[in-house]
Chains A and B, each alone.
Chain A
Amino acid sequence: MHNPADMPELLARFLAMQQPSWRNVKVSSYEVMTGGYSRLLAKAVVAHDDGEHILVLRGDPPVDKILIHTDRRQEWELIQVLNLHGIRTPSGRYFDETGEHLGTRALIIDFSASQSFLPYAQGGGSLEGLNERLADALASFHAIPIDALPEQIERPESWDAYLTNRIDEWRRTADAHVEDLPIMRYMAGWLDAHRPVPVPLTLMHGDFQGANLMLADDGHFEMLDWELASIGDPREDMGYFKAVAMIAPPDLLDDAGCEAFCARYRELSGFSELQVNPVVVAYFLILGVVGTVRRLLEGGADYARGTNMLMASVFTMNSVQFGQSIWLPTSEALGPILDSIAAAAAAAALAEGKSC
């Protein structure tokens, strides 16, 4: 994939090996795609005697151009699980684990004929009801039993341990950077002081944003790009979506949309109103971005140290600064409300204890 000119031949040879029943395999078109910052993407039209297929390749970039490190094997195995559970995401077809066939470790999935959500929205497409469809999409994969997920995805010991680790990630990120980051330290302190009501841990997409959503003809979302998936608090996906949507609209979880979104998600998940509500989503707007923030800062730090020369590493640091401009006022507004929710949850737990 590093040399697009070689790819039609390499891909045709690889597919002929994977599908011995296909005769005269030819790649009639191979087009490098934009849309992802971290992996190489390409769309290929493949023809053989019995038909034609449109496929998407996702492969690792050259070592000196890797913005973030993720595991193609884990992504591949997760896609198999998602396909098995009927989650709306393109089917995984083939995997070149060693990179010996496609020039780099790469997986091949079906091309989705659905519309990319962001261009759809930017073109004036109707957003009516999509906040609830977003809840459907999230609830669908959040419901996959953890036992069914690939073994290499780390299982946190408990929700408390998970959250503590996630909050500490803000401090670790600040400590690891090339200069002191007091805003990160403030956010860690604030997140710790306003912990939400716990929920069971689930699969998290990890990069759940408009750019990774497609809109199918039936009005439901398809989800793409599972490379950052992990096990964690499902509300992080909600907060992350909102965080990115504030930079790249539309924000389906704005004041008007978030209440209905939460109601639909509660209906599907069985969570309580203390667990899932717009204020808690806003808490996770901050917490949920820490993984991405860490990776972006690592890229910027590498550039500062001279160990990578990717302009994208510098560019994406703008997102961190934009995020900071959102987190600070959000924390100020949310603090008192989160305190009241915590008090209500404690009172409810006490009342339940007494009634038992």
Chain B
Amino acid sequence: MLTRPTTEQLLVGIAADLRNLVLAEVSSEPVKVLLGQIDQILRGLAERASHEIAWMHEEADTISAVTGTEVGWPASLHLEDVITWYGEVSRVLSTAIDAAFADGDTVRVAELKRLLDTRSANEMKIVGTLDLVGRG
């Protein structure tokens, strides 16, 4: 299969064309807002397409190590299988968090929170600079 230009390049390119060429031709305010939202979504998708499978695996490794739970592997590297597996890994983390709070174990809570910090940092790489286009 042809892999270049990459999915990331294409999505960033589509976003740029919408922003620089299409938007200028649009007069409807609601459609301008929609284009602004699509622009941000496309840029986030470019980041996801590049990294999400790797990020989910990296997170799963750490969750497994910190919770002491064997989390296994996805059925394949097709995205749907990875997402299904990642959901199960996330449940392991959620259960550990609930247990730590129920036990009042503040050290354990802090340890688990560090995993969430990593997850959130990856999410923010996808979101980029948040602009609530159309509000106000």
Residues of chain A at the chain B interface (Cβ within 8 Å): 32-35, 37, 116-119, 174, 179-183, 185-186, 189-190, 192-193, 210-211, 247-248, 311-312, 314-315, 318-319, 321-322, 324-325, 328-329, 331-332
Contact = CB atoms under 8 A, between A and B. Distances in A.
B120 A325 contact: yes
B30 interface: yes
A321 B123 contact: yes
A311 B30 contact: no
Given A185-B98, A189-B98, A315 B136 contact: no
In this complex, which of B87, B116, B117 has the most chain A Cβ atoms within 10 angstroms of its Cβ? B116
B80 to A, nearest CB: 12
Interface string B76-101: 00000001001100110110011011
A311 B136 contact: no
B33 interface: yes
A119 B136 contact: yes
Contact of A186 (B38, B44, B97, B104): B97
Contacts of B30: 32, 34
Contacts of A318: 40, 44, 127, 130
Interface residues of B, number: 39
Contacts of A118: 135-136
A321 B98 contact: no
B124 interface: yes
B79 to A, nearest CB: 13
5 contacts: A32-B29, A32-B30, A37-B135, A182-B93, A189-B97
Given A32-B30, A34-B29, A325-B123, A183 B116 contact: yes
B126 A321 contact: yes
Interface in B105-127: 109, 112-113, 115-117, 119-121, 123-124, 126-127
A336 to B, nearest CB: 10
Contacts of B136: 35, 116-119, 210-211, 248
A274 to B, nearest CB: 23
A186 B130 contact: no
B85 to A, nearest CB: 11
Given A35-B136, A247-B132, A189 B109 contact: yes
Contacts of A324: 120, 123
A186 B112 contact: yes
B34 interface: yes
A144 B41 CA distance: 42
Contacts of B33: 34
Interface in B4-49: 29-30, 33-34, 37-38, 40-41, 44
A350 to B, nearest CB: 22
A332 B106 CA distance: 11
In this complex, which of B104, B112, B136 has the most chain A Cβ atoms within 10 angstroms of its Cβ? B136
A242 to B, nearest CB: 15
Nearest to A192: B101
Contact of B119 (A32, A117, A183, A248): A183
A37 B127 CA distance: 19
Nearest to B36: A315
A319 B40 CA distance: 12
